[in-house]
Copies of this chain bind each other. A is one copy, B any other.
Amino acid sequence: MIRRTSVLALALVVAGALPTMAQPDLQARARQYFQPVTAVAIRPADAAKVELGRQLFFDPRLSQSGAISCNTCHNLASFGVDNLSTSLGHRAQTGSRNAPTVLNASLHFVQFWDGRAKDLTAQAKGPILNPVEMAMPSEAVTVSRLKSIDGYVGAFRRAFPGEAEPVTYERMAQAIAAFEATLVTPSRFDRYLRGEQQALAAHEQRGLALFLDRGCVSCHDGAALGGNKFMKFGLVKAYPGAPDAGRFALTKLEADRGVFKVPSLRNIAHTYPYFHDGQVWTLDEAVRTMGETQLGWKPSDAETGALVAFLQSLTGELPEQARRMPILPPSGPGTTRPAR
């Protein structure tokens, strides 16, 4: 599903003059495309669910081996990724796509590179049962392991009060999603969008102007600077990376071949390596690759530098509850043993 905005954007690219200094109307223009984010305030009614989700997120017992947690591949010490091309799952197996960050994932319109999950709850159910990822044999085995841990039974009860059988696979996923929904990371760019002119240096503002004028914004817009539409990777020129049919594998529509969800650019300086295959390691190369494949544009060294500087201003701050590790409740005598 390629939207018309990309055509408009290409027109802009052709028409746009190369900006050489900060533009006085830049802030106003940026506000037309982007929405600033704020740290998520956890509602008291959600606190128990978020806390349960935080424990589950860090708990390797959600994997068959007892060694892989959500945080293994979406490491909150490194901006919600593992900085690997593809993650190491059960028995060190790998999938074919790079693990996207969980930070700001709640701002995405769908989840996974191919958008196959409609929201964070649906997403959370996937990797736990994926045989090359956490490899739990079934929902039932997962729930039975959780029920064998007294600390979790109590935590589910507090998170989902009034339920006769609070521990279910669905609610496990809901709790993880509730925690992940708090992982919004405001940055200097948000202060800029809110009117603080000095929050971005002149060099970064030049990068922002290029980002708007050259059409990067046609895909990477909204609150997450991405994450709100699908787009073909290789619009103008084929991406040289590993072959991947993208959404075609899901929809079998020829128009979806090579089409992926546009990733968010928030915290992009830390979430290398880049693209669905994790084959590009520097932001500099990623910017040049995007220019050529999506816009038919070869940015100069100076332009690339300015764009990279702007992208670095998108590095945000994790909320405190995401940085503080939980104390995991101990297993019970009936807890199924880790299996290799």
Residues of A within 8 A of B (CB): 58-61, 65-67, 72, 75-79, 82-85, 87-88, 91-92, 94, 269-270, 272, 281-282, 318, 323-328, 330-331, 333, 337-338, 340
Contact = CB atoms under 8 A, between A and B. Distances in A.
Given A67-B88, A92-B92, A340-B92, A272 B326 contact: no
Pick the most buried of A83, A84, A323: most chain B CB atoms within 10 A of its CB: A83
Nearest to A270: B330
A76 B325 contact: yes
Contacts of A272: 330-331
Nearest first, the 10 A-B pairs at minimum CB distance are A92-B92, A77-B325, A78-B328, A67-B88, A58-B77, A77-B328, A323-B325, A91-B92, A270-B330, A324-B324
Contacts of A60: 75, 82-83
Given A77-B328, A323-B324, A330-B269, A66 B92 contact: no
Contacts of A269: 330
B91 A66 contact: no
Contacts of A65: 84, 88, 92
A199 to B, nearest CB: 20
Pick the most buried of A61, A88, A318: most chain B CB atoms within 10 A of its CB: A88
Given A272-B330, A325-B323, A328-B77, A338 B92 contact: no
Q: Quick one: copies of this chain in the complex?
A: 2
Given A67-B84, A82-B60, A82-B67, A77 B337 contact: no
Nearest to A85: B338
A164 B234 CA distance: 48
Contacts of A91: 92
Given A58-B77, A82-B60, A92-B340, A282 B66 contact: no
Pick the most buried of A76, A82, A84, A87: most chain B CB atoms within 10 A of its CB: A84
Contact of A77 (B270, B318, B327, B340): B327
Nearest to A55: B77
A326 B77 contact: yes
A214 to B, nearest CB: 24
Nearest to A337: B281
A204 B60 CA distance: 31
Contacts of A58: 77
Contacts of A327: 77-79, 318, 323
Contact of A83 (B75, B324, B331): B331
20 contacts: A58-B77, A60-B75, A60-B82, A65-B88, A65-B92, A66-B82, A67-B87, A67-B88, A76-B325, A77-B325, A77-B326, A77-B327, A78-B328, A84-B338, A92-B92, A92-B340, A281-B331, A318-B327, A323-B324, A323-B325
A325 to B, nearest CB: 5
Pick the most buried of A65, A323, A326, A330: most chain B CB atoms within 10 A of its CB: A330
A287 B79 CA distance: 43
A87 B60 CA distance: 12
Contacts of A340: 88, 92, 94
